Structure 1
Amino acid sequence: MKLIGKLVLGIIAGILIGLLNIDPVTQLFVTIKGLFGQFIGFVIPFLILFFIVSGISKLGDKSGKMVGVTVGTAYLSSLLAGLFAFAMAITFIPLLSNEGTSVAGGQEGIEPFFHFEIDPVMGVLTALVAAFLFGIGIAKTKSLTLMRFSDEGKNIIDMVLSKVIVPFLPIYIASIFVELAAKGEVFNILKVFGMVLLIGVVSQSLWLIIQFSVAGALTKQNPFVLLKSMLPAYFTAIGTMSSAATIPVTLEQVKKNNVKEEVADFVVPLCATIHLSGSVITIVVNTIAIMNFLPDFALPTFGNMLPFIAMLSVIMVAAPGVPGGAVMAAVGILTSMLGFTELAVGLIIALHMTQDGFGTAANITGDGAISTIVNKFSEGDSGVKGNEIPVATNDREAV
């Protein structure tokens, strides 16, 4: 069974168990939620450190105009996508509260059997600064020892994500819904899920139109013809939930948009690793929704969200390519910059995972617009020599 099916079963099972509200069983799931949440918090700084160091050290080995244009355009796309998502979410999500979908405080929290604190080795911002310091340093010094160390660390964290965290997510999400159902809040949360999914998908669709409008204006092509060419990649990505797995289709469709073969062969695999504008939209919309509906938060201002979105766009460049990897990478700044609680983190993971395919589809389709823009600005100077074609090493999800 695919992960999305297991997540849905986990939500259903959690609701049923929570509605029965048998104290020892409910406490068991609350204990599981607490322990697994602590473990995720412990892993996140290592994830940020190793993935960003590994990514920057590899990127620094390449040169040429095309690399700078591609990375800069991909980051700008993610940043502007986040700001656009904030505008959409701050406009429409507060209206949902008027429809009786806000989440009340409910009864007192259910105590776990025991509390177990796992302190992270370092803070999230410490990990981020260290990642840039060592990533740039490795790229400049060509230190093979440190490069191997970061690569092997990345592989270990990737294995922990794919073999431990992701397979356990259905149980973790079930435990969240056990507690919500036991506290009588679950049906309001489910209403929020459906409405937020709609806002997220609409926001991603509008952002794709904006991306291709810019690409069309720069290249004097019809943006809707460009976007139509990318639809096979869009629907393939929804099914695979992986940008990397969709690369063959993406390449074929990008070349139909008058992108030179050498440019497409360079940009598409690289963007499959560094361009996650769809995932940024998903995370920002979900963040606003959770802060609007949970009683512990106030609706964030633009001043609150601007530094968060700027940092999120940086972190997305190195987010791990496993289902849920983008939101896992974002957990650190959600807690450190926006004060997300354990419940808020659990809810945003659940929300993100249920929207996985749509985020991936927006990511990969947007790569077509990035390729068209890079093709325009790299005319006469590809900056790619011989075998300097990047290989996507991450299975990007909606990620």
Structure 2
Amino acid sequence: MSAAPPALLHRLKRISLVTQIIIGLIAGIALALLAPEVAKSTTLIGKLFVTALKAVAPILVFVLVMASIANHKVGQETHIRPILYLYLLGTFAAAVVAVVASTLFPSNLVLTTHDVAISAPGGIGEVLQSLLLSVVDNPVSALMNANFIGILAWAIGMGVAIRHAGDTTREVLGDLSNGVTLIVRMVICFAPLGIFGLVASTLATSGFGALIGYVHLLAVLLGCMLFVALVMNPIIVFWKLRRNPYPLVWTCLRESGITAFFTRSSAANIPVNLELSKRLGLHEDTYSVSIPLGATINMAGAAITITVLTLAAVHTLGIAVDIPTAILLSVVAAICACGASGVAGGSLLLIPLACSLFGIPSEIAMQVVAVGFIIGVLQDSAETALNSSTDVLFTAAACLREEQKNPA
């Protein structure tokens, strides 16, 4: 009899997180339909999940960014620079697309804002002033108050400083990064329960009109990702190669994007991308560096997710956004995307950083993160597919351009 619980746990482990989240989502909707009063009592489950995310997000950003900079290896001679430019251009362009789409098709969310003070910035001047003050915040205060801009600044500074330390110190920092990532994975494992509580309590309290807002939000997210994959990326590749980009685009989407959609991990899709790059006849010394690098910093899908969800919160709260602030958001979203964690839902944990530009407190920003997990079954899969397929696409574009300039 004692073997039953371990056997049950083993079976649960074999069920993918996507399937578990779908089960939690369906169960939450069913409970809200069949027993609304009982569903309202599940608020605590959702709050526990949001609070856990809120607790782990600051230390996650600090440790991962610091470790990645400290352990970055230099000195390899490759044609990586043009690929790096394409990565950064593509990520920024995706954020701009998301800003335009969110302006044309604004989304409304159901957020709990009572007892939370909201201080909306008056314009780009206040945003920049707040940004500068956040950068120089005390690191302990930044971690305690979830000041993600200050956390990012200190993580970069410490990472650069530790690069000059001994190998042992950098190895310890790498182990610390792995430990924090493991804790995050444990928190994410409770996402199905958290989503069950959030969906059940939200629908029971606010009605099923809240679900319509999620459908609209998901449509905007997926629409942006499709536009980037089928329009924006081909434009960038055409600008680079001056020839029809779609055969290459379709190849990358078919052979890399589909696999990444189901693995939901850019890191897990690296072997697939390396093999595809080899079949495409690309320069081995280049793609062996650019593909792993792309899995870390080429995050167009993450930039879209961060931007769309942030602007959904901004629109819900009635905060006006001027053009300079929208441009600044695109830059911040692109930078945030480059530092997104490789774990499932990693980009969602950086939404509070973007929300802080508009004076949105962490209590509300984490509700937006929770909404992201609710729609994350499709959002995260599509995001990973776009990110991973673009790694190969931009690597191939840069390599083929070098061949055009220097024919054998």
Q: TM-score range by the shorter chain?
A: 0.7 to 0.9
* Contact 2:314 2:358 survives alignment (8 Å): no
1:306-325 pair list within 5 angstroms: 306-325=327-346
* Aligned equivalent of 1:11: 25
Aligned-residue offset at 1:344: 2.8
- Shifted more, 268-277 versus 348-357: the winner is 348-357
Any idea what the Cα deviations from partners look like across 1:62-120, whole Å, max 9, x if unmatched?
454644444443223212210111112211236xxxxxxx56789999xxxxxxxxx95
Partners of 1:272 and 1:368 lie apart in 2 by 10
- Shifted more, 307-316 versus 65-74: the winner is 65-74
1:83-162 pair list within 5 angstroms: 83-93=96-106, 120-121=143-144, 123-139=147-163, 141-162=164-185
Partners of 1:15 and 1:300 lie apart in 2 by 34
Partners of 1:178 and 1:32 lie apart in 2 by 10
Partners of 2:267 and 2:20 lie apart in 1 by 23
Given residue 283 of structure 2, which amino acid in structure 1 is its aligned partner?
K
- Shifted more, 262-271 versus 350-359: the winner is 350-359
Residue 241 of structure 2 is aligned to residue 213 of structure 1: no
* Aligned equivalent of 1:191: 212
Aligned-residue offset at 1:16: 3.2
* Contact 1:286 1:351 survives alignment (8 Å): no
Given residue 210 of structure 1, which amino acid in structure 2 is its aligned partner?
M
Aligned length: 360
Partners of 1:142 and 1:106 lie apart in 2 by 46
Give the percent of matched residue pairs that are identical in Structure 1 and Structure 2.
20
Partners of 1:17 and 1:72 lie apart in 2 by 49
SS of equivalent to 1:348: helix
Question: How well do the aligned residues superpose, as a CA RMSD in angstroms?
Answer: 3.2
Aligned-residue offset at 1:263: 1.7
Any idea what the Cα deviations from partners look like across 1:188-239, whole Å, max 9, x if unmatched?
2322333332332232222123223322332233201111221211111112
Aligned-residue offset at 1:337: 4.5
Partners of 1:280 and 1:108 lie apart in 2 by 29
* Contact 2:80 2:286 survives alignment (8 Å): no
* Aligned equivalent of 1:39: 52
Residue 187 of structure 2 is aligned to residue 174 of structure 1: no
Distance 1:151 1:108, change over 3 A: closer
Partners of 1:374 and 1:136 lie apart in 2 by 29
- Normalising by structure 1, we get a TM-score of 0.79
SS of equivalent to 2:189: helix
* Contact 1:138 1:147 survives alignment (8 Å): yes
* Aligned equivalent of 1:97: none
- Normalising by structure 2, we get a TM-score of 0.78
1:6-85 pair list within 5 angstroms: 6-19=20-33, 20-22=35-37, 26-27=40-41, 29-59=42-72, 61-64=74-77, 66-85=79-98
Partners of 1:375 and 1:11 lie apart in 2 by 44
Any idea what the Cα deviations from partners look like across 1:227-264, whole Å, max 9, x if unmatched?
12212111111121122222233233334555323222
* Aligned equivalent of 2:289: 266
Any idea what the Cα deviations from partners look like across 1:366-397, whole Å, max 9, x if unmatched?
1123203432676799xxxxxxxxxxxxxxxx
Partners of 1:240 and 1:54 lie apart in 2 by 25
Partners of 1:324 and 1:277 lie apart in 2 by 14
- Shifted more, 65-74 versus 266-275: the winner is 65-74
Aligned-residue offset at 1:306: 3.0
Partners of 2:272 and 2:37 lie apart in 1 by 50
* Contact 1:82 1:309 survives alignment (8 Å): yes
Partners of 2:89 and 2:359 lie apart in 1 by 22
Residue 263 of structure 2 is aligned to residue 240 of structure 1: yes
* Contact 1:49 1:127 survives alignment (8 Å): yes
* Contact 2:241 2:401 survives alignment (8 Å): no
* Contact 1:78 1:275 survives alignment (8 Å): yes
Residue 355 of structure 2 is aligned to residue 334 of structure 1: yes
* Contact 1:48 1:315 survives alignment (8 Å): no
SS of equivalent to 1:206: helix
- Shifted more, 64-73 versus 342-351: the winner is 64-73
Aligned-residue offset at 1:308: 3.1
